[in-house]
Structure 1
Amino acid sequence: MKKNLETKSLTGVLSRLCKDEAGNTIAIMAAAVIPVIGLVGGSVDMSRIYLTQSRLQSACDAGALMGRKVMAGGAWADNSGLANTKAVQAFTANFENGAYGTGAVTKSFTELGGKVTGTASVPIPMTLMKALGQNQRTIRVNCSAEMRIPNSDVMFVLDTTGSMDSAANGESVSSSNPAKITELRIATKCFYEILTQKNITDVTKEQCDQTTDPSETSSNTSQIRFGFVPYSINVNVGRLLPLDYMANTWFYQTRRANFSDATGYDYTLGEPSELTQVGAPTVNDTTGVWDYMSNSITVDGTKYLKTVEVKKAPLDCTTISAPPDQSSGPTTDGPYVTNSPTPVHPTASITVDYELTVTSGAVKYRYVPDKTDVTKNKKCYLQRKTDSSVTTTQYTATRPVTWTPRRTFNDWTYDRIELNVAGLKNSANNSWNSSLQVPIGANGTNSTINWDGCILERETQKNVSTWDTSNTSAQKDMAIDLIPDASNPATLWGPRLKDVLYAREDSSGNWTLDPVTTTDNFGRPTSGNTTTACPSPAKLLNVWSPTDYKNYINGLTTDGYTFHDIGMLWGARLISPTGIFATHNAVANDNVQRHLIFMTDGDTNANPDALSAYNVPWFDRLQTDGNPSTSDLNTLTDARTAALCTAIKNMNISLWVVSYGEDVNSTTNERLEACASPGKFFAYDPNVSLTEQFKQIAGKIAALRLTT
């Protein structure tokens, strides 16, 4: 009854409310407040959540990045966990406790296999969302950072002139004040360790200013290639070139023998044709004679006595084990000439007889009694004999005859003479020979001329002050990417052959450009290694093992004057993706960063009497019309170097320049700084080692990338 009354009462109230329109607005508004609060509160709180999550992720990323950067090539726990400390500091700098009304932040960083991983979380108290029962949300983020170096090609152009044997500060070389070449070796090795994370055994972590030696990890998946162009007067690049990139003839300051004709001819025999067998082979078998052994012998670890006593009669020596038979051969002897008739002019060929023998042998052993009366003899004696079989085969072959008129040596003509240098090409093996024969020996005989691999540059222009590396019609030597054309000698290179060179003098004993015919033997236009230096061989871009890299760097030699342009020119050629080594340098989708590191310790020093890439400038004058002075060549070299610097930077190659040593003057340093890409020049600082400068370069090349 009570329930019915309550129902009727509620119904009445609602009925009255429905009829009373004046109060409806208030009731509707009251009913709508709760969903409006939910909508507005949700929007406000969700904005806080997104903002907080974004900032928390950024802070986590910053911490992981900083931790990996501080760790570098060492371990996470080095320096009392400095990497972790810096990671936390970087996080806190980007997200402080209580930011955006959040609660206490939880964060942690760990490292595994060179990869730093971080996690962070923070609670966010809700504001208006509490009206819907949402009191708090927790935001969680993850982050990671690893040293992932981009695919990189690094070409070192290294000054290896004689001054590299001195100390950078100009004082005496000692264990505490090493030569610049010693510092260069350490610096380039530390550079390698930073980029590859591979350890070179003869450089210490202290020398590289590291806390630990590098340890390669599975995350090091980038391709890092290194190339080298050591330079001084010249560059040693000849054996890197295809055979048809080198000319077959070249002009040298040398001499030519002059002869007068004599009666008769001399002949030389060429290589024999394929041997033709004559008749059937003959076999000569020889049976040896049994001889008594004077000593006991050991065969295959078993000793056999020369005399064996037998106590039982009758004596039977055949029961005693003798050494096993031993075979020898077959041994081939020949074919050798048995008959070679003297050719009569003008016979073009002769038939030569040959013989070839094949010898086989067998050594046999036995024990025998010394006397025929075996009933009294109690001893057996060791005997040996040698049997042999010789098979002899006769052959013939044809040999070509070359006739040369007999001549009498008269005198020499000294001049700029074209020589045939094709003998350096081993076409059969597609390789280079180390020497060739040139008829400049005594009385015009052939002399062996060695080739060390240095080259002579192709055609160039004279008396040029402005150089254009794209001018392939006139400035072919400066055209970095010009592909040689075997049919156009002006596009080819020549071998530098210091031992064919001769100076020539006038009647007053002074050098002259005029041809001189005389019986005198003039000397060389250059003297000593300084004027004829050929640096260590250059190397194309390749992935190097630590051992190969170490051995190459340790083998760098030093000597010669300073011609910066030839080093820069070939450094550009060896790294160019579009030039003569384009196929070798190719990378899929060209996904590679290219760097050229040019290091020098001195000013340009282009001696006109030195054997450079343009032969001897005083005599050959390939770059100037008149007699070039050192000042002229220095100015020319500096202008060419500057043009090459610009060209390299226009090839999308980062050009790093390091000037190391107090002897480099301010004008040179200004040129070197202009040569470098912006921000990539390092001047000598007595308080900063060459290793530290190279480490700075390596650190910038080794870009740190975030991964999530």
Structure 2
Amino acid sequence: MAFFRRLLASLSRDNRGNVLAIVGAALVPLTIMIGSGIDLSRAYMAKSKMQSACDSASLAARRVLLNDTLTTSVETTGKEFFGFNFPQGLYGTAAFTPTVTKPSAGVIRVAANTTIPTVVMKLFGFGSLPVAVTCDASLNFVNTDIVLVLDVTGSMANDLNGTPKIEALQDAVLALYDELAPVQTQLESQGLRLRYGIVPYSSTVNVGRLLYAKDPSYIRSSVTIPSRVANFNADVYTPQTPTSSGSWEYASGSYTSSACQSWVESSSTTGGGPAPTATTVTRYQGTSSSSGYSQSNDWGYSGASDTSGTYRSCRRWKVVETTTYATGSQKAFSSWTYQQTTYDLSNYITPTGTMTYATSGAGTVPAPGGTYNLRQLAASGTGTSTSTATWNGCIEERDTTTSIDGGTSLTIPSGAKDLDINLIPSSDATRWRPMVPDLIYTRSGGTTSQTSTNSTTTSGWILNYGYSQGYWACPTEARRLAVWDRTSLDTYLTGLQTVGGTYHDIGMIWGARMVSTGGAFGDACTYYNSMPCNRHVIFMTDGQQTAYCNVYTAYGVEQNDMRVTGSGSCTDQLIRHEQRFRMACNAAKNLGASVWVIGFDTALNSNLSGCASSSEQADTASNRTALIAKFQQIGNKIGALRLTQ
């Protein structure tokens, strides 16, 4: 014991070699610090790589999520993307299986937990370090406006693999709605919104009532159309009170009783005329007081030359009724003139308004007569055949120009008021015309007038859809942007009518108007509740552009109105409408809308595919299943994918 006390006292007085001891003692914690840094760096790199893999996995899985349903396909996609970006065993990590879940509507969550072995720290009892990641992905939906421009032409009623194409379209639109329903709920909970507008189109669109409700001055109250006027210039001859005179007629020595009866009861005869020449009616009877045959009075009558035997003299009473005619108080139909005719429609376009019009040249008008359009004739004629019509809501487009000749320019000429999407009506040139199919009568192309003297002839066609001619069509009324519930949307889609020919230009013109923040409606938004708005047009068709010369469309009857071609021959009308379609597509995209194009049971030509905002946004669907999938995919892609955690 005394020895150790002397050693320690000696060491305290002599400090040579202390540094070595101190360094030796410090090596242990220093080694721990350096080793933990190395191992933690490896763990950090592994976690960073895993996080990147997690992010890509959640985004990929969210992209294939349909109907907000977590399926095996969604889980498999997420796990495959995770494994591709972070293979098992990377950095020496222990085996693990990522999990894919749906914690809330529209959100996909991917999580993974593993460990990474240590190199240095295991010397001190730390054999591994934990590594865990989690990430959420959703679609970055903000306020969203979607305008559906839907081809509802007659071909959409055709069966495709046993299902009418219009029914497949209805199912596809509902599939789009179902795909976006969770997002719609999320947006509404945050004071935002998802809205749909719908434009069914064929050879025109049904938007007239919507325009009138917005502002009655948007609709013309007077139109000039291919129709006919009735010329009432023929004199009407009014019969005066007829006069009668009677006398005996005799036949002697040649009649049996039956032959005498036949002679006496001969049919009446007419004579004279036509008016104003007097007319006569001659009648025969037994006596001056009896119209029937009397054998005792008429066969072998008293004083006759033959009063007995088989053959006797015969007599009958002859009555002549004479009618004379006067003129001056009325005029009758003389001819139809088929020409451009102006009509006042101020009552017809009102919500409860109707229109009475003449259907033939029957009846008379007061002298001195003259020329009457069909509405004037119905109001002025006596005994005139008439009918009553109510506006169906379909429109003729406002004024345009014939300078759009089928070229490649996408610049809209100043005269093309129909293609000026945001132009608010301020004159008849910029107002829309109500369609009046009941008043439409065509004439030969390029002519200014034609005449017919038949009071009932149509000289061409009266253009009534539903009759054998079928030369005009009015689709179901469009709907402005609004928040829909599924039942209301289903009811509307079920009521879609399939009528008419394919005018892509009129469909896209009104799709652009519906998705615009300005113009007649100005329904779409740039911001709503301080949040931005995304706008989309989904254009679906089952056919190529058509253009008719003798059909009543949104541009009138081209062979007579000549608004697009300037010529009644219509030889280049189709390429002119195709150029209008390209201009309308370009206008929609210039408004900031994203355009999607779907060809259903039809190929996409360059006009249709070029209408889409990108090549990825133009595609075809060959059947009902493919069409539903295409609408679902669009719904899935309309919002930008983003990581939320």
Q: When the two structures are superposed, what TM-score results if normalisation uses the length of structure 1?
A: 0.64
- Per-residue CA deviation, residues 469-518 of structure 1 (Å, 9 max, x unaligned), is 76473111111111212xx221111101111123357xxxx983137596
Distance 1:71 1:605 in 2: 39
- Per-residue CA deviation, residues 154-201 of structure 1 (Å, 9 max, x unaligned), is 222122212222245xxxxxxx52232232222222222222259xxx
Structure 1 pair 117/635, CA: closer, same or farther in 2 (3 Å)? closer
Map 1:231-270 → 2, pairs under 5 A: 231-241=201-211, 242-256=215-229
* SS in structure 2 at match of 1:251: strand
How much does 1:84 deviate? 4.0
Map 1:481-496 → 2, pairs under 5 A: 481-485=422-426, 488-496=427-435
Distance 1:515 1:590 in 2: 61
Distance 2:555 2:73 in 1: 56
Matched, 1:435 2:354: yes
- Per-residue CA deviation, residues 28-83 of structure 1 (Å, 9 max, x unaligned), is 8767756764664454334323222222333344444455555532654x5xx554
Kindly indicate whether the alpha-carbon contact (under 8 Å) linking 1:660 and 1:683 is maintained by their aligned counterparts in 2.
yes
Aligned residue number for residue 9 of structure 1: 10
Aligned residue number for residue 643 of structure 1: 583
Kindly indicate whether the alpha-carbon contact (under 8 Å) linking 2:118 and 2:129 is maintained by their aligned counterparts in 1.
yes
Distance 2:330 2:639 in 1: 68
Distance 1:129 1:675 in 2: 63
Distance 1:136 1:246 in 2: 79
Map 1:480-629 → 2, pairs under 5 A: 480-485=421-426, 488-504=427-443, 512-514=447-449, 516=451, 520-523=455-458, 525-529=461-465, 530-583=470-523, 585=525, 587-588=527-528, 589=530, 591-629=532-570
How much does 1:660 deviate? 2.4
Aligned residue number for residue 369 of structure 1: none
- Per-residue CA deviation, residues 544-590 of structure 1 (Å, 9 max, x unaligned), is 11111111111111121222111111111111123322146564156
- Per-residue CA deviation, residues 311-350 of structure 1 (Å, 9 max, x unaligned), is xxxxxxxxxxxxxxxxxxxxxxxxxxxxxxxxxxxxxxxx
The correspondence for 1:459, drawn from 399, 408, 428, is: 399
Distance 1:571 1:705 in 2: 29
Aligned residue number for residue 50 of structure 1: 44
Kindly indicate whether the alpha-carbon contact (under 8 Å) linking 1:526 and 1:611 is maintained by their aligned counterparts in 2.
no
Letter in 2 for 1:561: G
Map 1:149-548 → 2, pairs under 5 A: 149-168=141-160, 176-196=161-181, 223-241=193-211, 242-256=215-229, 413-426=337-350, 432-437=351-356, 440=374, 443-445=377-379, 448-465=388-405, 466=407, 471=412, 473-485=414-426, 488-504=427-443, 512-514=447-449, 516=451, 520-523=455-458, 525-529=461-465, 530-548=470-488
Structure 1 pair 45/31, CA: closer, same or farther in 2 (3 Å)? same
Kindly indicate whether the alpha-carbon contact (under 8 Å) linking 2:153 and 2:502 is maintained by their aligned counterparts in 1.
yes
Structure 1 pair 49/660, CA: closer, same or farther in 2 (3 Å)? same
Structure 1 pair 231/57, CA: closer, same or farther in 2 (3 Å)? same
The correspondence for 1:671, drawn from 607, 618, 632, is: 607
Kindly indicate whether the alpha-carbon contact (under 8 Å) linking 2:114 and 2:132 is maintained by their aligned counterparts in 1.
yes
Kindly indicate whether the alpha-carbon contact (under 8 Å) linking 2:515 and 2:524 is maintained by their aligned counterparts in 1.
no
How much does 1:697 deviate? 2.5
Distance 2:412 2:531 in 1: 26
Kindly indicate whether the alpha-carbon contact (under 8 Å) linking 1:113 and 1:219 is maintained by their aligned counterparts in 2.
no
Structure 1 pair 193/257, CA: closer, same or farther in 2 (3 Å)? same
Kindly indicate whether the alpha-carbon contact (under 8 Å) linking 1:149 and 1:195 is maintained by their aligned counterparts in 2.
no
Q: Percent identity?
A: 32
Distance 2:112 2:474 in 1: 60
Distance 1:86 1:657 in 2: 28
Distance 2:563 2:159 in 1: 35
Distance 1:532 1:258 in 2: 27
Kindly indicate whether the alpha-carbon contact (under 8 Å) linking 1:434 and 1:452 is maintained by their aligned counterparts in 2.
no
Kindly indicate whether the alpha-carbon contact (under 8 Å) linking 2:526 and 2:532 is maintained by their aligned counterparts in 1.
no
Letter in 2 for 1:454: C
Map 1:68-107 → 2, pairs under 5 A: 68-69=62-63, 72-73=66-67, 75-76=69-70, 81=72, 83-105=74-96, 107=98
Kindly indicate whether the alpha-carbon contact (under 8 Å) linking 1:596 and 1:656 is maintained by their aligned counterparts in 2.
yes
Structure 1 pair 10/609, CA: closer, same or farther in 2 (3 Å)? same
Structure 1 pair 688/108, CA: closer, same or farther in 2 (3 Å)? closer
Kindly indicate whether the alpha-carbon contact (under 8 Å) linking 1:472 and 1:482 is maintained by their aligned counterparts in 2.
no
Distance 1:475 1:218 in 2: 39
Kindly indicate whether the alpha-carbon contact (under 8 Å) linking 1:153 and 1:226 is maintained by their aligned counterparts in 2.
yes
* Structure 2 unmatched ranges of 5 or more: 236-328, 358-372, 381-385
* SS in structure 2 at match of 1:592: strand
Aligned residue number for residue 130 of structure 2: 138
Matched, 1:652 2:592: yes
Structure 1 pair 29/65, CA: closer, same or farther in 2 (3 Å)? same
Structure 1 pair 639/705, CA: closer, same or farther in 2 (3 Å)? same
Distance 1:223 1:536 in 2: 26
How much does 1:110 deviate? 3.9
Structure 1 pair 473/49, CA: closer, same or farther in 2 (3 Å)? same
Structure 1 pair 82/425, CA: closer, same or farther in 2 (3 Å)? closer
Kindly indicate whether the alpha-carbon contact (under 8 Å) linking 2:446 and 2:568 is maintained by their aligned counterparts in 1.
no
Letter in 2 for 1:246: I
The correspondence for 1:691, drawn from 628, 641, 645, is: 628
